[in-house]
Amino acid sequence: MTSPSRPASGKKPAQKPGDSPATATADAAPAGERIAKVLARAGIASRRQAEEMILAGRVEVNGKRIDSPALNVTSAERVLVDGRPLAEPDPPRLWLYHKPTGLVTTARDEKGRQTVFDTLPASLPRVMSIGRLDLNSEGLLLLTNDGALKRRLELPSTGWLRKYRVRVHGRPDDAMLEPLRAGLNLEGERFQPMQVAIDRQQGANAWLTIGIREGRNREIRRALESVGLTVSRLIRIGYGPFRLGDLAPGAISEVKERILRAQLGLEPEAEPAARTGNVQGSGKRREKTPAGRKARQTEGESTATKGVPGKPPTRPGGMGKPPRQGSDGKRFSGRKPPRH
């Protein structure tokens, strides 16, 4: 039986002259990626912003200005944005940033308020925030240079739990918080069940720990207001496997590439040092054995993965040598015994 999308001969239908890749049939799907995705990966803008730039006529492909994002391009195409060619895309990178209160999580603010991006180090490449934190919210904000990574980590389907410490005015109990655990319907909007725990009562205020997986606009504040609690402080302390830890307000720390790839389930790239058996910068040789590979996996873990379920904390530089023992089986401190 022949496929309905192909002629009986089995040949693909010929593409008409003037047809662009966007109008090709499914059987003749063009190679490459959507132009907006390419721009996002190059760090020009998010995919949505890239589509707006295309509609504004700021993008050219092979010398022709395009007006629709429905176009696939390959590495052989010459793409210009505002007359300038795209630079080679950097590998995806991720930073942990401790957002203080009083900053807007947006590139530009129509009210002239200071933004998160106004305070970042000048040495940082162009970055985008993964999700947002309100003006009066603080804590962990993830930043990336890669639009595709931003989109992936923002999707609820990623399933990563966002955890918050929340101070509320009032005396909550489990019965009051049960609607949040069951899931709310507010103004026709469905909130998924939240993880809610009461940490302590402190005078007229209480501290809660709340976990959500969607991150709707002002979700926690609105949910708590619906049960009669007013939020006076909200701190994000975790986003998936990444933790705020002791990162100071306004400070930023990059997640190591190896840890990022492990958390996203990506295949590790071949490292030149691993191919030659040398550890870059150490001047030592490392055996290409299972033990050597295990040492590479455990050395230099960053604070970004502390507290990740299933990942015990490791000492800097690996587990190190076990303590030496004397002939009596007791631990030997390494100092010479005193002479008597």
Residue tagged 């709707």 (tokens): 216
Answer whether CATH 3.20.20.60 is correct for domain 30-85: no
Structure tokens at 15: 């593409």
Long-range contacts of 129-133 (CB under 8 A, 24+ apart): 129/105, 130/154, 130/239, 131/162, 131/215, 131/239, 132/105, 132/106, 133/99, 133/105, 133/236
pLDDT of residue 55 exceeding 60: yes
The ranges assigned to domains in the chain are 30-85, 90-158+240-264, 161-239
Question: What is the pLDDT at residue 26?
Answer: 44
Average pLDDT value for the chain: 77
Q: How far apart are CA 236 and CA 160, in angstroms?
A: 13
Q: Calculate mean pLDDT across residues 296-316.
A: 42
β pairing state of 94-99 and 138-144 = antiparallel
Burial letters 209-227, b for 16+ CB under 10 A, else e: ebebbebeeebbbbbbeeb
Fill in the amino acid letter for 192.
Answer: Q
Nearest one of 267, 247, 300, 305 to 91, comparing CA atoms: 267
Region for 245 from its dihedrals, namely left if φ exceeds 0, alpha if ψ lies in -120 to 50, beta otherwise: left
- CATH topology identical between 30-85 and 90-158+240-264: no
Share of the chain above pLDDT 90, in %: 45
The better pLDDT of the pair 42, 240 is held by 240
CATH architecture of the region 161-239: 2-Layer Sandwich (3.30)
Average pLDDT over residues 104-108: 88
Q: Which residue has the higher pLDDT, 219 or 29?
A: 219
* Of 104-118, 128-142, 264-278, minimum mean pLDDT range: 264-278
Q: What share of the chain is helix, strand, coil (3-state, %, to 5)?
A: 20, 25, 55
Condensed to tens digits (0 to 9), the pLDDT of residues 156-169 reads: 777 789 999 999 99
Which residues are catalytically annotated? 134
- Residue of higher predicted confidence among 232 and 265: 232
Residue 208 has what pLDDT? Answer: 98
Long-range contacts of 49-58 (CB under 8 A, 24+ apart): 50/147, 53/81, 58/82
pLDDT band at 268 (very low <50, low <70, confident <90, very high): low
d(CA 79, CA 61): 5
Q: Name the β-bridge partners of 60.
A: 65, 80
What pLDDT sits at residue 256?
Answer: 94
CATH for 90-158+240-264, options being 3.90.1150.200, 2.170.120.20, 3.30.70.580, 1.20.1530.20:
3.30.70.580
Question: pLDDT tens digit string along 170-208?
Answer: 999 999 999 999 999 988 889 999 999 999 999 999 999
Does position 94 have pLDDT exceeding 90, yes or no? yes
User: Is 118's pLDDT higher than 50?
Assistant: yes
pLDDT at 183: 93
Reference 58, options 31, 34, 86, 30; nearest CA is 86
Least confident of 24-28, 107-111, 307-311: 307-311
Taking only the tens place, the pLDDT of each residue in 16-38 is 444 544 444 445 556 788 898 88
